[in-house]
A and B are shown apart, each in its own frame.
Chain A
Amino acid sequence: MPSNTIVERVAADLVRYPPFEQLDQELLQDLASSVSVTYHQEGETIFRKGDQLRECAFMVMKGAVRLFENIDEREVLVDLCDEGDIFGVRAIFARQDYVLTAQVAEETLLYEIPVDKITMLLQQSPGAALFFAREFARSVEEIEHSLTEAMEGAGRDLHGLSCHSFLENETLEVRQVSNVATCSPDISIQDAAGIMAERNIGSIIVVSGEGHPLGIITDTDLRKKVVAVPGSVKEQPVSEIMSSPVYTITGGRTIADMVMLMVKTKLRHFCVTEDGSVDSPVTGIISEHDIITSEGNNPAVIMKAVMQADHRDELREQRDKAESLLRLYISQDVAVHFISSIITEINDALITRAIEFAFADLDERHDGQRPETPFCWLSLGSEGRREQLLRTDQDNAILYEDPPPDREDAVHAYYLELGSIVTGILQHCGFVRCPADMMASNPQWCRPVSVWKGYFRKWVSAPEPKAVMNSTIFFDFRPVYGASWLASELKQDIFAAIDRSRGFLQFFAKNALQNPPPLGFFRNFLVEKSRDHANEFDIKARAMMPLSDAARVLAYELNVVEYLSTVERFKKLSLLIPGMKDLCHEAAFAYEFLMKLRAVNGLETSSSGRYIKPESLDKLERQMLRNVFSTIEKVQKALNLRFQLDYIRT
């Protein structure tokens, strides 16, 4: 029998990294006892392309290993693995030879894990199976389909989970539970559990004689500390297992406060006391559940408040609330497409209300005279694609029906005034002005439909790279208020223009390939194909734009008339282009992941979330990102092939 001490040591190393962190103790020990430890110096080759597969996969415990391919006698770096990375997983799934060469980049300690152990693990731990499948999927096409499906399944579960939040009510303060269950520290654990069961509650506060909180016992404590422990623990006093001290607060907290506190402390129960300290009597308790189901966190309430707002200050207040809602949803792992659709609804309602305010102002100024020509408010860019989570720059435009020749100037002046008022309100609500001035307050972007058609026809018929690049956000326009048929008319005209000059799509596609994705991460650096390492990661330019650009090109190529998000576009495209079905699903998943990562980063750093510090990512996020990068690369290759871009010079 192997040495327990050594096995436990190895297990403690393995458990630090995915997928082993989720294994139960028995599987982990068994796995650890099968490990071989090897040591390698810089420059040593672990295996070569074409070598027969080994009977093990490798985990880097210390050091770094480069994986590369030789193409035309040139080394093409495919991956750099550092501590906790696994490579050589091909041996688990494939029966042929290695397709890459693994070479030690710096002094390395490897754990070799036998393939038969991993195979056994795959059957016993679905989490580990998904992990290894993902790792493998990065190089092999066949199983990607099933993989994408598995991930979508996970997404659906999250969606179901989020529905808890829809409750009807109108207050914005977290309502504390005031008839708190308490007990003294010397009652037995069994008795405390009895009280909790009887009252059907998830926690009980342990209090002193004066009613001051000493500790708390929750379901989790009972599960982990009592049930899991053999012997007669149940007879012991509750003070043995209670969590102490309790986090105490004063009453009357808003949901935003509580969400912040929950995110910051990672606690799930907060004890309300008279003066907020542990040295005063308990008056209530607020649990995670109370916060999540709090009435004010209901998007419907925010929507209603927006629609009934009397002043721009109220709009701003509601939009801030939407952000705390976003924070909550993100911390609860709610599906991104669900969050973005809620935020978009709220933003749209806010724009609508802002336009109504503007009309009221204008009515006063113009004695209630409004132009007879109908207009349509357009959101552009990410807002046009319904993808905005955090508030970013505003991009918008006004489109109106061609007025009679003698009214042209008057109508233009009126709608320009409208545009100025509305963009001003939006700015007041936290939407920064577009630095490139692509806004409805700019005379150039507040125009009748004939002029708009002219703009697009020019972009389409005589494309020059710079103009195409600057105009992409316009191609994502979406009607938010007013005569949406004007927007449809414009879209049809664009399709017709594109039909007349196929060359445009190639330019459009070429533009989508400007930013190749990086390879992945190495410690705190981004590994690039061309350069070596870079320090910060621009998630928007390097990962999101390549995907949203690609989806836009294909949507316009295939005359998709609906106003869709990037994710929806990919889903639609998967039906329209059978050959790209799996890739489109994968891209949709990748984009959702990126949106979420950006939002999390933005909330953590109080920024737009665009620039990510690689060191802030955990191992799993890095692995996910690496997969996303390879998806982007495949999408770009597909685009390249579809539009035969290798033959074009710009």
Chain B
Amino acid sequence: MCRYVRAFEHAPVFGVSLDKVRFVVFDTETTGFDPVHDSVISIGAVALRGGSIDVHDSFEVLVCRETAGDRDAVTVHGLLRRDLVAGISEDEAASRFVEYAGNSVLVAQHADFDIAMMNRVLKRHYGLQLFNDVLDTASLAKRLEKGPYYNLAHKSGEYRLDSLLERYDIRLFDRHTAAGDAFLTAQLFQRLLQSAGESGIRTLGDLLLK
């Protein structure tokens, strides 16, 4: 945890070329969609650097919980009770994740939710929250396809992960496991980065609008 905090001692360099940046594309599976009452069941992530998804640099943990959650979530995520019991504790999971992520840019589909979930866990056990720069693939896709001022409210369906994967011709598999979704999101992000390059986005600052 200390190592994680220390990794942010230096201010981020937004002028750096996108090729040099390590992105950690991640996804969390939760018991529900309320960051206050629901909790994290599993975290999956894979790193992308220089346009290349590195399978070796990937991450997956299952969180063990005393109560095995409500039935709905169990079916949605395809996790059996014994898988949950076989997992590690919530604080250990959070600590391993931030260790893995370091000061990389975090990328997720509808990132606000996953970040909120992670922050809640970190706050409860360690009294801190994520310092990383964050990028949302849905917003990035929207920005690249329609420009920055497009109103997403009416047609949010177009930017669901399933719709995006279909639109970018990415073969579906393992939906609803955190690691499976992270791998798919990484492939989506890989294509978005390519398209960003064509739109003249060269540096991390360009990408994060900073």
Q: Note whether A and B form a binding pair.
A: yes
B-chain residues with CB within 8 Å of residue A5 when the two chains form the complex: 44, 60, 174, 177, 179-180, 183
In this complex, what residue of B is CB-closest to A39? Answer: B190
Instruction: State whether the Cβ of B23 lies closer than 8 Å to any Cβ in chain A.
Output: no
Interface flags for B162-189 (1: CB within 8 Å of A; 0: not) read 0000000101011001011011001100
Do residues B191 and A10 form an inter-chain contact, with CB atoms below 8 A?
A: no
**In the complex, are the beta carbons of B52 and A41 less than 8 A apart?**
no
B56 / chain A contacts, CB cutoff of 8 Å: 2, 33-36
> B58 and A2: CB pair below 8 A?
yes
Asked whether any CB of chain B lies closer than 8 Å to the CB of A613, the reply is no
Are the C-beta atoms of A6 and B52 separated by less than 8 Å?
no
Q: Are B55 and A39 in contact (CB under 8 A)?
A: no
Give the complex CA separation of A32 and B183 in angstroms.
14
Q: How far is the CA of A5 from the CA of B176 in the complex (A)?
A: 11
**Which residues of chain B are within 8 angstroms of A387 by Cβ–Cβ distance?**
none
Known: A6-B46, A9-B174. A112 touches B52 (CB 8 A): yes
Distance in angstroms between the alpha carbons of A110 and B85 in the assembled complex:
37
Contact of B53 among A7, A36, A107 (CB under 8 A): A36
Closest B residue, CB atoms, query A38: B52
The CA-CA distance from A611 to B196 in the complex, in Å, is 48
Q: Which residues of A contact B55 (CB under 8 A)?
A: 2, 6-7, 10, 32-37
Asked if B17 is at the interface of the complex by the 8 Å CB criterion, the answer is: no
For A3, give the chain B residue with the smallest CB separation: B60
Q: Are B194 and A37 in contact (CB-based, < 8 A)?
A: no
Tell me whether B179 and A4 are in contact (CB under 8 A). yes
Instruction: Please tell me if the beta carbons of B44 and A37 are within 8 angstroms of each other in the complex.
Output: no
Which residues of A have CB within 8 Å of B186? 37
Q: Of the candidates B51, B52, B54, B183, which one forms a contact with A9 in the assembled complex, judged by CB atoms under 8 Å apart?
A: B183
B45 part of interface (Cβ distance < 8 Å): yes
Q: Mark A6-19, 1 if CB is under 8 A from B, else 0.
A: 11011010000000
Whether B57 is near chain A, meaning CB under 8 Å from some CB there, is yes
Check A3/B190 contact, CB under 8 A, given A9-B173, A32-B55.
no
Chain A residues, CB < 8 A from B159: none
Most buried by B among A2, A7, A62: A2
> Could you list which residues of chain A lie within 8 angstroms of chain B, going by C-beta atoms?
2-7, 9-10, 12, 32-39, 41, 62, 107, 109, 112
A-B contact pairs, 25 of them (CB 8 A): A2-B55, A2-B56, A3-B45, A3-B58, A3-B59, A3-B60, A3-B179, A3-B182, A4-B179, A5-B44, A5-B183, A6-B46, A6-B55, A6-B58, A9-B183, A12-B173, A34-B55, A34-B56, A35-B55, A36-B52, A36-B53, A36-B56, A37-B53, A37-B190, A62-B171
4 nearest interchain CB pairs? Answer: A3-B60, A5-B179, A37-B53, A3-B58
Residue ranges of B at the interface with A (Cβ–Cβ < 8 Å): 44-46, 51-60, 169, 171, 173-174, 177, 179-180, 182-183, 186-187, 190-191, 194
12 further contact pairs, Cβ within 8 A, besides A2-B55, A5-B177: A2-B56, A3-B44, A3-B46, A3-B58, A3-B183, A12-B173, A33-B56, A34-B55, A35-B56, A36-B54, A37-B52, A39-B194
